[in-house]
């Protein structure tokens, strides 16, 4: 398991051998200080959690570290990297050098280092953190330009229906199911293997960061790719060796889906909850 050290032991044995070194996750989300539907003002919270705690403890509020609050009233989504820069600088120091820390149990001082394992977000913030826009066609950050998404005939909205049976094992019964997915269609195609961290890094290396290119998207955006920037997380020297860099918070997305359905059914006049505060 990653949190017990698996890939860390292989890639960074000097880091993994010290159990007091900290494994962190970064959670970013909107919140509206003036109530759930007060859409005139929204903030960003950036929270770090530590996987050194047991699974029952690491997501408890008392062990979550509110690292920064990015004030509103509106937020430039692509430019979250500018706000994250001081945090990334501290993470770099924590990785390369560490900080002198007192171990109360052993009564000794040691250099504590830290690694950022991944981010945990809803789909919208996933796009901001990873740099691959998750909106519209080609919004799936796994399928990328090989997406099978299509536009609905009348509403013209992007639809991802039946795009991901290709990831099932070759003999999975769903692949032969002609009734529950697209009518009369079996899925024989095998999905392309996921790009490795090195492969993705090579792709984004040619693009500018939001500091270098604050106003323009990389050439080809929307046509051949959905990269909006070279994400600041690539500054972390270990980022390309992680198997998973960005995670989706499923409970959060479930709430957004529920809000959408509920507001539609009740004919409530609110903006799309997936584009606003998550809590
Ligand atoms: Zn996909």
Using one digit for the tens of pLDDT, what is the confidence trace for 223-243?
999 999 999 999 999 999 999
How far is Cα of residue 19 from the mean position of the Cα atoms in its chain?
26
Query: 225 CA distance to ligand 1 centroid (A)?
Result: 14
Amino acid 71: pLDDT: 82
Query: 207 CA distance to ligand 1 centroid (A)?
Result: 23
Q: Confidence band (pLDDT; 50, 70, 90) for 276?
A: very low
Average pLDDT over residues 129-153: 93
HSE at residue 137, side-chain half, CA atoms within 13 A, is 14
Beta bridge partners of 24: 50, 116
Query: 166 CA distance to ligand 1 centroid (A)?
Result: 9
Q: Confidence band (pLDDT; 50, 70, 90) for 39?
A: low
Query: 206 CA distance to ligand 1 centroid (A)?
Result: 24
Query: 135 CA distance to ligand 1 centroid (A)?
Result: 12
Query: 248 CA distance to ligand 1 centroid (A)?
Result: 13
How many C-beta atoms lie closer than 10 Å to residue 79's C-beta?
14
199 CB contacts (<8 Å, ≥6 apart)?
Answer: none
Query: 22 CA distance to ligand 1 centroid (A)?
Result: 32
Query: 143 CA distance to ligand 1 centroid (A)?
Result: 4
pLDDT exceeds cutoff 80 at 164 = yes
Query: 148 CA distance to ligand 1 centroid (A)?
Result: 8
Q: What is the ipTM of this complex?
A: 0.98
Query: 33 CA distance to ligand 1 centroid (A)?
Result: 34
Query: 74 CA distance to ligand 1 centroid (A)?
Result: 30
């Amino acid at each position: 398991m990653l949190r017990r050290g698996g890939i860390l032991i292989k890639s960074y044995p000097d880091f993994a051998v010290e159990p007091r070194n900290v494994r962190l996750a970064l959670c970013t989300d909107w919140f509206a200080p003036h109530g759930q539907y007060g859409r005139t003002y929204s903030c960003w919270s950036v929270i770090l959690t530590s996987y050194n705690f047991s699974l029952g403890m690491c997501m408890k509020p008392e062990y979550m570290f509110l690292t920064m609050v990015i004030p509103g009233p509106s937020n430039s989504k692509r430019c979250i990297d500018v706000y994250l820069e001081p945090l990334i600088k501290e993470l770099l120091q924590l990785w390369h050098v560490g900080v002198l820390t007192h171990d109360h149990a052993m009564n000794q001082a040691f250099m504590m280092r830290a690694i950022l394992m991944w981010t945990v977000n809803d789909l919208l913030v996933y796009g901001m953190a990873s740099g691959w826009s998750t909106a519209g066609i080609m919004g799936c950050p796994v399928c990328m330009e090989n997406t099978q998404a299509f536009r609905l005939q009348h509403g013209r909205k992007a639809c991802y229906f039946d795009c991901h049976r290709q990831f099932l094992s070759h003999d999975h019964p769903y692949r032969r199911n002609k009734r529950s997915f697209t009518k009369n269609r079996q899925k024989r195609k095998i999905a392309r293997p996921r790009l490795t961290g090195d492969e993705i890094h090579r792709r984004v290396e040619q693009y500018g960061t939001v500091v270098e290119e604050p106003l323009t998207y990389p050439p080809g955006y929307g046509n051949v790719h959905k990269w909006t920037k070279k994400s600041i997380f690539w500054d972390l020297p270990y980022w390309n060796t992680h198997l998973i860099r960005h995670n989706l918070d499923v409970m959060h997305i479930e709430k957004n889906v529920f809000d959408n359905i509920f507001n539609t059914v009740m004919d409530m006049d609110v903006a799309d909850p997936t584009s606003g505060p998550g809590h």
